[in-house]
Chains A and B, each alone.
Chain A
Amino acid sequence: MQPLSNLIAEGERLMVICNACRYCEGYCAVFPAMERRLNFSETDLNYLANLCHNCAECYYSCQYAPPHEFAVNVPQVFAQIRARSYQNYAWPGFVRVGAWWAVTAGIIVAAWLAGARSAAGANFYAVISHEAMVATFAFVSAFILAAYVAGFLRFWRESGESLARFFQPSTLLQAARDALWLKNLDSHGVGCTYPNQQHSQARRRFHHCTFYGFLLCLASTTVAAAYHSIFGWQAPHAYFSVPVVLGTLGGIGLLIGPVGLYWLKRRRDTAIVDIKQDSMDMSFLALLFLTSLTGLLLLALRETTAMGTLLRIHLGIVLGLFLTLPYGKFVHGIYRSAALVRSVLEASRGKD
C-alpha cells in the first residue's frame, strides 16, 4: 500500500478538481457532500470515501479521467482510502484474519466441542450440546458487536456530530432507506456502471440477495433461539416451520448473491478498483457461500449418518465467518451506513 500521506494528498487533489467541476453532482451522495466543503482533510476524505459505493459512473463520465493529465479516478482512490479507514477505525486494533485460518480454527473448535459424539435423526444437540453452542457463539458475537460499536463510534466521532443527531428519527429513516434500497447504486432507476460502463441492476440485485439472505438467516437463528428459550421447542424444526423456512430462503439468497457478486467481479473493469482488496472481498463471499451451502446440506441430510460430520463443518465455517467479521469486508456496511446518515444530516442542514 502507498503511504497514507500520499493517499490523502491524492484524495485531496481529486476533490479540489471535482469541486471545481461538479458535473457529477446529480449522480450520488458523494458529490453533493463534496460541494458542502471547500477543504478536504483526512477525516473528510474518510467520510466521502465511505459514502462512495464504488459504482464508477463518475469515472466513465469524467473529462479528466486518465489519460488526461489530471488523471482523475475517484472510485479507485476512494477504494484505497476506504481500505485504510477500515484499519484506522478497527477496535481494539486491526488484525488481518485469513479466511482459511479462520475456518480451520472454527472447525477445530467445533470438533473439540463435539468430541467423538455421533447421533442420528437430526439430533444436533446430541453432537454438540445446546449450552456449548450458545456459549461459544454468544462469546464471539459479543466481541463482534463490541468491535462494531467501537468502530462506529470512532467513525462518528470524526464527524463532529453528537450521537443524538445520529438517532434523529427522520434522518435515520431516510438514511436507512438509502442503505436498504442501495439508492446510490441505482443511478435514478437504471442501475450502476458495474461490471462495465453499461448501466445494470445486476450488482444491486446480487447484493440484495446477499444482504437480505444474511438477514433472513439471522432471523431464522433468532426465531429458533426464541422457540428454544421461551417455548422450549427444540431443534430440529419441521421443514415448513418458521425458522427452517426463513433459513432456507436466506440460504438460497446467500448462494445466489455471493456467486453473482463473484461472477460480476470476474468481469469488472479493473481500472476503477483497488485490486489489493480482492482477497478481503473474496474471503467474505466464499465464507458466506460456504456457510449457506453447508447449512442447506445439513438441512437436507440431517436424518442421515452424515449429520454429525456436516454439523461440525457447518458450525466450523460459521465460526470462521464470525472470526473474520470484525476486520473483514462486512465492516463496509457499518461505515457506509453511518456515512449515509451523516450525508442526510448535512443535506438537511444545507451548506456548512
Chain B
Amino acid sequence: MGEQTIEADVVVVGGGNAALCAALVARESGVSVTVLESAPVEYRGGNSRHTRNMRCMHETPTNVLTDAYIEDEYFSDLLRVTEGNTAENLARLVIRDSPQAIQWMKSYGVRFQPSLEGTLHLSRTNAFFLGGGKALMNAYYAAAHQRGIRVLYNAEVTELHIRDGKFKSGRLLLNGQPAEFRAKALVAASGGFESNLEWLEEVWGEAARNFIIRGTPYNKGKLIKLLMGQGAESVGDPKQCHAVAVDGRAPKFDGGIVTRLDCLPLGIVVNKRAERFYDEGQDLWPKRYAIWGRLVAEQADQIAWSIIDSKVMGRFMPSVFPPIPAASIRDLALALALPAQDLEATVREFNLAVRPGRFDHQILDDCRTEGLNPPKSHWAQAIDLAPFYGYPLRPGITFTYLGVKVNERAEVQGLGSRTNVFAAGEIMAGNVVGKGYLAGLGMTIGVVFGRIAGREAARAAAQ
C-alpha cells in the first residue's frame, strides 16, 4: 500500500480553540480545510479543554458579563501583569476584537453561562463557557463536521518544507504511519511545549522532573521547533512558564482545574526542612496564586506543604484530594514526613508572631505577623485548633511563553515576506503576553488570532 498524501487548500495544525477558529473561518470563504490534531479524539482540544472562560472588553453589561470593561482598563491590566512585555498593536487588536469574537462564537453554537459563583470573581471581565472548555470544543468540532472540514486525529506533524517563505508540503505521522500533506496555506495553532518533558529538563534541569503538567500531554512544541528551524523569529522567554502550586498527588498530566489549592493564604507553607519561605498573605489570592509554582520549584526537591488548622476548613474551594489530617502538629509532621521538631518550632514561632485582628479572607484584612521573617501580611491566624491538615504542593505548569513572532495578519515573521504560514493561539501568545498572565486572556488571543489566521490563510490559498 502506498503512502497517504493529504491535500487541502488550508491545513491547520493543532486541535484547540485557536485551531478550530482558524479552520471555521477559513472554511467560511469556501476553501477546503483539513485539521491535523495530534491527540486522539477523546483528548482533542489541547489545553482549551481545561479552560473555562475568556476575557472580553465590553462597554455596557451583557447577558454574560457584568458592568463594563473598557479597552483602556483591559490594556492597562495587561501592561501591569506583563510589565510592558507586550506588542501594543497586537494586544489592542485582541482587546478590540473580543466583543465580536463572542458573537462569532455564538453563531457557531458556543454557549456562555451567566456567571454564578466563580471562585476568582471574574464575572465582570470574563465570559464563562457553559460547561467549560470541552463543551466549547465540542461545539466547534460539531460545527466543523457540519461544514465539511476534515479532522484527522492522531496526526502529528514531523516536518515542514518551506522555501522563500512559502509552505508547500510537510510530513506527519498519521496513526503512527508516515504520510505527506500539502496545502496552499498553513496555520500553526499547536500550543506550547509544556508537556515535552525532555525540553523542560533542558530548560530547568533536573528540577523539571518534579513538575506537574496541568494540561494536555500533547503539547510537545514540535511546530515551534520546526518553524524556528526554518528561520521563524521567536518571541517570549524560553526559560519562563506559567506555573501554580498544585496538589502534589496530582496526575503527571491533564489534572486540570481540580488539583489547584486555594488554601495557601489561609495557613502557612513550609518546605521539606519545615521552614516557611514566602509571605503567604502578600496579596489577594487571585493576584498571587500564579507565583507559587515558581516558589515551590525553587525549594529543595520542588516540594512544599500547605499547613492549616480546623478554623479555616470550608473557607476555600474544595480540591480533589483530601487533606492529610493529624491531631497535633507533631503527628502532622510525621504524616507528612517532615522533621517534627522543626515543624513544631516553625508553627510556634509563627503563632507567637501573629497580631490580633479581624479575620476576613475576602479582603486584605489586618491579621498579620510582627517580627517574623518572612512575614505573613494578611490572614495570619494562629495555627492552634486541632485537627490540623496538610496538603503537599508541587509546581504545576499551565503553559510556556516561547513561541513564534507574528504581525497583525498572523503571518509568522522571519520566514520571508508575504508568507503563507500563519500562527494562532498559545504558539504566538507570547507576542501579547510576554510575561505574567491575565485570566482568560489566552482564550481571547486564541479566538481573535485564530480568526485572523483563518481569514488570511484562506486569502493566501485563493491566490
Q: Mark A281-303, 1 if CB is under 8 A from B, else 0.
A: 00000000000000000000000
Supposing A20-B257, A61-B132 touch, asked if A25 and B320 sit within 8 A by C-beta, the answer is: no
Q: Nearest chain B CB to A160's CB is how many angstroms away?
A: 19
B130 touches A38 (CB 8 A): no
A63 touches B132 (CB 8 A): yes
User: In the docked arrangement, what's the CA distance between A20 and B317, Å?
Assistant: 7
Q: Nearest chain B CB to A21's CB is how many angstroms away?
A: 5
Please tell me if A306 contacts chain B, counting CB pairs below 8 Å.
Answer: no
A67 touches B42 (CB 8 A): yes
Q: Mark A20-62, 1 if CB is under 8 A from B, else 0.
A: 1111111100001001001000000000000000000110111
Please tell me if B113 contacts chain A, counting CB pairs below 8 Å.
Answer: yes
B256 touches A64 (CB 8 A): yes
Please tell me if A9 contacts chain B, counting CB pairs below 8 Å.
Answer: no
Q: Mark A179-206, 1 if CB is under 8 A from B, else 0.
A: 0000000001010000001100000000
A197 touches B254 (CB 8 A): no
User: In the docked arrangement, what's the CA distance between A19 and B119, Å?
Assistant: 12
B258 touches A61 (CB 8 A): no
Please tell me if B148 contacts chain A, counting CB pairs below 8 Å.
Answer: no
User: In the docked arrangement, what's the CA distance between A65 and B132, Å?
Assistant: 13
User: In the docked arrangement, what's the CA distance between A22 and B117, Å?
Assistant: 10
**Contact size range, A:** 20 to 34
Please tell me if B318 contacts chain A, counting CB pairs below 8 Å.
Answer: yes
Please tell me if A176 contacts chain B, counting CB pairs below 8 Å.
Answer: no
A26 touches B130 (CB 8 A): yes
Please tell me if A126 contacts chain B, counting CB pairs below 8 Å.
Answer: no
Supposing A60-B138, A64-B256, A188-B111 touch, asked if A19 and B130 sit within 8 A by C-beta, the answer is: no
Q: Is the interface of B mostly helix, strand, loop or mixed?
A: loop
Q: Is the interface of A mostly helix, strand, loop or mixed?
A: loop
B115's nearest neighbour on chain A, judged by CB, is A26
Please tell me if B221 contacts chain A, counting CB pairs below 8 Å.
Answer: no
A17 touches B258 (CB 8 A): yes
Please tell me if B319 contacts chain A, counting CB pairs below 8 Å.
Answer: yes
Please tell me if A69 contacts chain B, counting CB pairs below 8 Å.
Answer: yes
User: In the docked arrangement, what's the CA distance between A160 and B389, Å?
Assistant: 30
A197 touches B131 (CB 8 A): no
Q: Give the residues from 32 to 91 in chain B that come closer than 8 angstroms, CB to CB, to chain A.
A: 42, 49-50, 52
A57's nearest neighbour on chain B, judged by CB, is B131
Q: Give the residues from 97 to 137 in chain B that come closer than 8 angstroms, CB to CB, to chain A.
A: 111, 113-114, 116-117, 119, 128, 130-135
User: In the docked arrangement, what's the CA distance between A61 and B45, Å?
Assistant: 12
A17 touches B131 (CB 8 A): no
A16 touches B131 (CB 8 A): no
Taking CB atoms, residues of chain A closer than 8 Å to B131 are 23-24, 26-27, 57-58, 61
Please tell me if A68 contacts chain B, counting CB pairs below 8 Å.
Answer: yes
B142 touches A25 (CB 8 A): no
B142's nearest neighbour on chain A, judged by CB, is A198
A19 touches B49 (CB 8 A): no
B116 touches A21 (CB 8 A): no
User: In the docked arrangement, what's the CA distance between A35 and B138, Å?
Assistant: 25
B130 touches A188 (CB 8 A): yes
Please tell me if B314 contacts chain A, counting CB pairs below 8 Å.
Answer: yes
A20 touches B319 (CB 8 A): yes
8 smallest beta-carbon distances between A and B, as pairs: A23-B132, A26-B113, A61-B131, A20-B258, A61-B135, A20-B320, A26-B130, A20-B319
Which residues of B approach A to under 8 Å, CB–CB?
42, 49-50, 52, 111, 113-114, 116-117, 119, 128, 130-135, 138, 142, 251, 254, 256-258, 314, 317-320, 322
Q: With A20-B320, A60-B134 given, can you name 6 additional A-B contacts, CB distance below 8 Å?
A: A26-B114, A61-B134, A61-B135, A63-B256, A66-B42, A188-B130
- Interchain Cβ contacts under 8 Å between A and B, 11 examples: A19-B318, A20-B258, A20-B318, A21-B256, A32-B116, A38-B318, A58-B131, A63-B133, A65-B42, A70-B258, A70-B320
